[in-house]
Structure 1
Amino acid sequence: MRTTALGLTLLLTSMHAAEPQAENWLSHLKIAPPLKVPTDLAAWQKQRAAIRTQLNELLGDLPPRPPVSAFQIIAKEDKGSYTQETLQFDNGAGEIVKGYLFLPKSATPQSKAPAILYCHWHGGQYDIGKSELLQTNATPVAAGPALAEAGYVVLGIDASCFGERNGKGPDGPQQKGGAGEMTAAKFHLWAGRTLWGMIIRDDLTALDYLCSRPEVDAQRIGVTGISMGSTRSWWIMALDDRPRAAVCVACMTHYEELIRAGMLKAHGIYYFVPGMLKHFDTEAVIALAAPRPMLFMTGDQDGGSPIDGVKHLGQIVEQIYALHGDEAKPSFENSIYPGVGHVYLPEMWEKTLKWMERWVKGG
């Protein structure tokens, strides 16, 4: 087949237009270098404190979290081996937040049980939220009943713009779904804070309540989720020392690699924290969990977590864990699944249960 000069020009122009422009953008941006791993644990502890302080500042001027007395139990259902409670609390920022708590009947103030804070995903499924605990839209099994039957007290809340909070943003029911999420993000930026900071703030409020339940052993709490729920989990681990362990499925994302891969589109507006890359990339956030057990499970075909970035993160975080010596072995695991995309496989669920059994229930 003959290619005319005009045809060749159009082809080359089309190829050029399709090329990612990330390098051009990055070349004009001064971003932080990879996290420098110190030579000793004492130096890391000092650096860790500084990173946590910086993260809290980047999230913005968040209002104080409401007290646990703000929580109300508004419904209870007997499910046989466990009770399902519906909770709500006024988050002190204009919204009533609802959640589900699954309470095994074996958990009592005299026989305290381990607990799981479950963080639901995004997936564009704004109507679901906390109801993910009762469904298989994101997980191979309904996580709430499954974890309760395994002996855990389980709590999950609607994140901002999800579940019963869909259409409850500043524009009300006229803005639902992605439009409502964008409206909430704009509002919070005007208030000097981030949507992501408010999401994590509500999660930490839920953690406050979970720790306060008389049936819960507050020294044995894990946190988990897939996708946005995964990201919520590793940020919670970064900002709060109370969770004992975490399992994070998907969304182990190195931000610079995400830019280079041309995949910023893989994450919603909720995900972005102004100024992050001026200070550090996500290895600094994930590393704050050390030496507490962390399991990451990521498919190598997951566009929202470019695999080179996943490997890069794992290499640096492993060095931070190594500073803790035997205390942290083998409590960090970065599992990569060949040929797998943005999904939660049954084998991943089984691994989640074993991880929690070892590090939360058995700890």
Structure 2
Amino acid sequence: MRTAAVCLILLHTLMQAAEPNPAADAWLAKTKIAPPLQVPASLTAWHKQRTQIRATLNELLGDLPPRPPVSAVQVTSREDKGAYTLETIQFDNGAGEVVKGYVFVPKTATALSLAPAILYCHWHGGQYDSGKQELLQTNATPVAAGPALAEAGYVVLGIDAPCFGERNGHGPDGPQQKGSNGEMTAAKFNLWVGRTLWGMMIRDDLTALDYLCSRPEVDAQRIGVTGISMGSTRSWWIMALDDRPRAAVCVGCMTRYEELIRAGMLKAHGIYYFVPGMLRHFDTESVIALGAPRPMLFMTGDQDSGSPVEGVRHIGEIVSRIYLLTGMNDAEYFENKIYPGVGHVYLPEMWEETVKWMDRWVRNAEPLKQLK
């Protein structure tokens, strides 16, 4: 009950209307931050700029250790669930922790009948004990995403992010530091050794992606990535840093940082989220734009003050122009849906949109014009 109460408090905070913040204006006036992304005049220029942005992102995330090989992943249990098999996996992440995850494998998926797959990224919500369990629950989504997607024919993989699930209490201070305290100590440790907690989180996600691509029953050309809140942000960063995912659906947390600062809502996001020096180079539209021309659907409530709606629209305007530059119809390949009167929640109709998007662009592998 305590965890649920923390989550409800967080959601209430995010749904409060943000007031103008004169203090932010004063701070920003004395700080040099990057202007909005300037869309180049040619596709060739964008390809060059895209390469530079990705390189800068990897540099900003810090000195990350090499990802462990696929062979490091072990299946520790299998359970017959009727339409699918539920596997528990684990791997040593090479940075002091064992990472555990769930794989949902439809009975129809075999080495002779390859299945589409989804890398599912769980949310934050103050629910440190949940992690990968979100796939089996409705704490963040209208349905239990793991069984629902597996029964629809997808292989689904989700892991515990740092400080969550079975990793809660396994940070550098040990079991006496759990929850937000454990998250803070993990962030401090990573900064001291020249890297970021966010970088380590995405690194583990990419390790999970490596493994998902290697599964004998998975069609590595048909993989999507999705999540809500922190899981949404993980999803669009994965799309930015890796070209393997074919499509993404991101619910909430389409956040432009300058607008977040001006709204006085830095408090809406945990310490894990912040990448030192990022605003010296670019804001989040530059990260999201790296996903183009692959199909991406964003769904955000206009009352979600952790994602000020002005910033959501600003990102959408810029990224749409990148899609058009790549020769795509932005309304077809990039959709930025804003829900009026809705806060930081995952509505049943959003879930329906998620499944439709994945079915179109991942399961059915509708051809992507000019995808490179």
TM exceeds 0.5?
yes
Matched, 1:176 2:178: yes
Deviation at 1:20, TM superposition (A): 4.1
Q: Could you report, residue by residue, the CA deviation over 1:181-237 in whole angstroms, capped at 9, with x for unpaired residues?
A: 000000000010000000000000000000000000000000000000000000000
SS for the counterpart of 2:102 is strand
Matched residue type, 1:309: G
- Find the counterpart in structure 1 of residue 136 from structure 2: 134
Contact 2:129 2:164 in 1 (8 A): yes
Give the alignment's TM-score, normalised by structure 2: 0.92
Deviation at 1:326, TM superposition (A): 3.9
Matched, 1:285 2:287: yes
- 2-side partners of 1:260 and 1:32: how far apart? 15
- 2-side partners of 1:122 and 1:265: how far apart? 14
- 2-side partners of 1:77 and 1:358: how far apart? 30
Deviation at 1:292, TM superposition (A): 0.1
- 2-side partners of 1:23 and 1:87: how far apart? 48
Matched, 1:94 2:115: no
Matched residue type, 1:123: G
Matched, 1:246 2:251: no
Contact 2:163 2:183 in 1 (8 A): yes
Matched residue type, 2:112: Q
Q: Percent of counterpart pairs with the same letter?
A: 80
Deviation at 1:150, TM superposition (A): 0.5
- Find the counterpart in structure 1 of residue 119 from structure 2: 117
- 1-side partners of 2:250 and 2:237: how far apart? 11
Contact 1:59 1:197 in 2 (8 A): yes
Match of 1:197 among 175, 189, 199: 199
Contact 2:320 2:330 in 1 (8 A): no
Q: Could you report, residue by residue, the CA deviation over 1:75-113 in whole angstroms, capped at 9, with x for unpaired residues?
A: 100000100000000000000000000000100001000
Superposed, which structure 2 residues align to 1:1-363 within 5 Å? Answer: 20-326=22-328, 330-363=332-365
SS for the counterpart of 2:231 is helix
Contact 1:119 1:225 in 2 (8 A): yes
Deviation at 1:327, TM superposition (A): 7.1
Contact 2:128 2:165 in 1 (8 A): yes
RMSD in angstroms over aligned alpha carbons?
A: 0.9
Deviates more, 1:319-328 or 1:34-43: 319-328
Deviation at 1:329, TM superposition (A): 6.0
Give the alignment's TM-score, normalised by structure 1: 0.94
Contact 1:290 1:328 in 2 (8 A): no
Contact 1:103 1:154 in 2 (8 A): yes
- 2-side partners of 1:118 and 1:228: how far apart? 11
SS for the counterpart of 2:34 is coil
Contact 1:292 1:328 in 2 (8 A): no
Q: Could you report, residue by residue, the CA deviation over 1:128-183 in whole angstroms, capped at 9, with x for unpaired residues?
A: 00000000000000000000001000000000000000000000110000000000
SS for the counterpart of 1:309 is helix
- 2-side partners of 1:306 and 1:34: how far apart? 16
SS for the counterpart of 2:332 is coil
- 2-side partners of 1:281 and 1:55: how far apart? 11
Matched residue type, 2:46: W
- 2-side partners of 1:201 and 1:191: how far apart? 16
Unaligned runs of 5+ in 2: 1-19, 366-372
- 2-side partners of 1:330 and 1:143: how far apart? 25
SS for the counterpart of 1:103 is strand
- 2-side partners of 1:245 and 1:327: how far apart? 15
How many residue pairs match? The answer is: 346
- 2-side partners of 1:327 and 1:103: how far apart? 34
Contact 2:21 2:262 in 1 (8 A): no
Q: Could you report, residue by residue, the CA deviation over 1:1-22 in whole angstroms, capped at 9, with x for unpaired residues?
A: xxxxxxxxxxxxxxxxx95410
SS for the counterpart of 1:43 is helix
- 1-side partners of 2:156 and 2:21: how far apart? 46
- 2-side partners of 1:54 and 1:281: how far apart? 12
SS for the counterpart of 1:330 is helix
